[in-house]
Amino acid sequence: MSSTWGEIVRISIFGESHGVAIGVVIDGLPAGEPIDFDAVLAQMKRRAPGQDKSATPRKESDFPKVMSGLLNHTTTGAPLCAVIENTNTRSQDYGNLLDVPRPGHSDYPAYLHYRGYNDIRGGGHFSGRLTAPLVFAGAVCRQILERRGIHIGGHVASVAQIEDTLFNPVDIPDELLRTLSTAYFPVIDSDKKRPWLL
């Protein structure tokens, strides 16, 4: 199973949920692109767990330490590497996963693929924790794309039988995309958010 995606811009994530750290390498970014680190941190905060009952209660700072590829908040053209330390781990809670894999998780497929050598603590490399470096990469790439007139946004269209208003398939206002891109739980119809978060 590959942890690297892309052709022109290549994104590779590394680490495990209960390892020392997780992180990402973004290769192929253009040099000379200013990166607003506060905007990156705002996106990191949106995915941080523990904000409602639907998320894991595990608390992590999710602060990315940039190791290379940025100088004075500007891309250098070298691979951009960011590392996020793991500080809140309870590995003993996962001791039985080799015997009792969790339904809906990658415990058993990873066991088969890696012949039992996979790190099972917290889901290892297949934990939701590994979405943090992906969010970092997306936040960096989003800024570069916006300067080229490409705006990105999304919303929760449905959960079970509750459905949000859908995007207009022809005209999606940039302001709506900006609003959705700052919300913790992005929906177009704010009345639909309450039953999902109860």
Tens-digit pLDDT string for the chain (198 aa):
678 999 999 999 998 888 889 999 999 999 999 999 999 999 999 887 665 555 555 556 789 999 999 999 999 999 999 999 988 656 555 556 566 766 767 677 777 777 777 777 666 667 778 889 999 999 999 999 999 999 888 999 988 888 999 999 889 998 999 899 988 889 998 887 776 665
> Two tokens at 46?
């949106």
Q: Are residues 126 and 63 in the same domain?
A: yes
pLDDT at 44: 93
Count, residues in the chain: 198
Which CATH number covers residue 98? Answer: 3.60.150.10
Q: Are residues 78 and 62 in the same domain?
A: yes
Q: Are residues 61 and 156 in the same domain?
A: no
pLDDT at 5: 92
Q: Are residues 87 and 97 in the same domain?
A: yes
pLDDT at 58: 52
What is the pTM assigned to this prediction? Answer: 0.81
pLDDT at 161: 86
pLDDT at 155: 92
Burial class of residue 81 (count of CB atoms within 10 Å of its CB; 0-12, 13-18, 19+): buried
User: Between β-strands 74-75 and 70-71, what pairing exists: parallel, antiparallel or unpaired?
Assistant: antiparallel
What is the separation of C-alpha 174 from the centre of its chain, rounded to a whole number of angstroms? 22
Q: Are residues 177 and 124 in the same domain?
A: no
Burial class of residue 85 (count of CB atoms within 10 Å of its CB; 0-12, 13-18, 19+): middle
From CA 189, how far away is CA 98, in angstroms rounded? Answer: 43
Query: Number of folded domains in the chain?
Result: 2
pLDDT at 183: 87
Q: Are residues 177 and 194 in the same domain?
A: yes
Q: Are residues 130 and 174 in the same domain?
A: no
pLDDT at 135: 96
Reduced to 3 states (helix: H, G, I; strand: E, B; else coil), residue 84 is strand
pLDDT at 88: 66
Q: What is the largest CA-CA distance in the chain?
A: 51
pLDDT at 195: 65
Q: Are residues 55 and 138 in the same domain?
A: yes
Q: Are residues 122 and 161 in the same domain?
A: no
pLDDT at 184: 84
Range of the domain at 123: 4-150
Q: Are residues 134 and 156 in the same domain?
A: no
Residue 25 backbone dihedrals phi, psi, to 5 degrees: -120, 125
Q: Are residues 132 and 158 in the same domain?
A: no
